Chains A and B, each alone.
Chain A
């Protein structure tokens, strides 16, 4: 199927009234989630995942993806008005966005954020559409050893998801592998790590862990402080939100920089939208004629990172949909969702489920357009959400989490497990253990073990099968290289420190 006919099929799926409705629900919820600091896309997607089980998978995926990229539009609002990023990718927007608002230019800052997000978001989807099908065709030659290598590469991405400590990230990933291994082993029917509980024979549902680690832990973390920051006034009327012609001219390179850099960073699993936005801000500053003004409220300082974090979404979906490798906590949850709905994310996804893939691509074009309309004239309305008291919001999040888990399992044991994973997620935050690697281990653990065991069955126990096949060997070398990166960086830092000390 070529790209044009695929896209035509995609639009026929995305333009179905029900799918258009789910697309709108997704981008609307995404904007709300992006606007509200403390409630991120992974938590929201995890909470809503159980409610999608009765939906048509294409509609469900369109909605969940809408939350994912919609949150990136909404995230800039709090960065600009409160100096508090609505989500991690909007951290850089605080630097110049908040300063613009303090200088009385909140309207153009919000406007350029929406326009840059639209342009770069659309470029990102274009990239996804052009890059994903050939990459998937290339990976059709994969067998168990290649899948094992691919999942090892996915797990190696933990290095890039690691926060301050790689050891802690690796430990979190191993805990994820352990949780994934709970239940009955499908090869030998052995019960593993079930603590004698029949409820654990089927393993622990991904939804329980995801909701606990992200949603419950997020509420607990947000419960800590009593008072919130003060919001700057929001300009009213579309005319006050539109940037001037000069602003648009100033942002020409920022649009290009954000679009291209964001997509490329997105394709590299593990890099993430926060890195994309920081890099594009750095590039923008480096090529600017007035770099000294960055941080004081220049409009390119808002356009570049906002564009990059939206273009990154399209890029991040490339490895997710063609190789089954999630590069972040949110894409890991989307991967889990695809598996729960019965799809096999990987090289065959586009071939076997064209309606899902192309429907998603087409819906992202439509969703970006919806977001532009939602975010330009309706920004003052969304900003009102910031006045919603936390004491009214947190019980609702806890309630949706409980209902979500109970609706999946019909078991109070599962709800009890939810509280355990909620506490685990909170403790991980306090102790600086990143949650992303745990989810990565949980999602990839089962497939990794299966691929390894199938590979060794193929070779009758000979491990060299993993290294003698060219694609598998190349991917494993790449995974090893990724694991070595921080070691080299650290050695280099030690070397530089030693040189500095000597001089």
Chain B
């Protein structure tokens, strides 16, 4: 069944009647995307499974109120982003200071000139091989922000709206995520000589 048919009134009725086949089709269509997004944001396999299930559970609860004015995918991902935003809200308070800020400060002299400039390494190649390993050094909230920007390719305004954070906040998350990653990849490149 193609995605377009999900907007069909008959399909929506089947969902509301808790038709198992219709729900299985919906899960087949969107679970892979949902789990992929959650994994990309740095949630563990178990957390991603729980997250995807809680999104579907909320959809099962809320389908009665869904009138089909937007696409069901939009509705589903709306629930997902709300849950991620909720997670960020709880998480962020604890992370006012981050070690990467000091690392970055130490890279410049008092005039703001590079003291330790970026090394001339083959970042394209290193990044392709090591990015997953280096992503593990990036705190989760920063990873979420960076994923939404670089992989989901949302613009900054959209991310701020969906995640309920200020542009300043998003800027801090992106600054830290990128610099953690770049630092790690640089170290990896150095090791390989």
Asked if A and B bind, the verdict is no
> A residues touching B (Cβ–Cβ < 8 Å)?
none
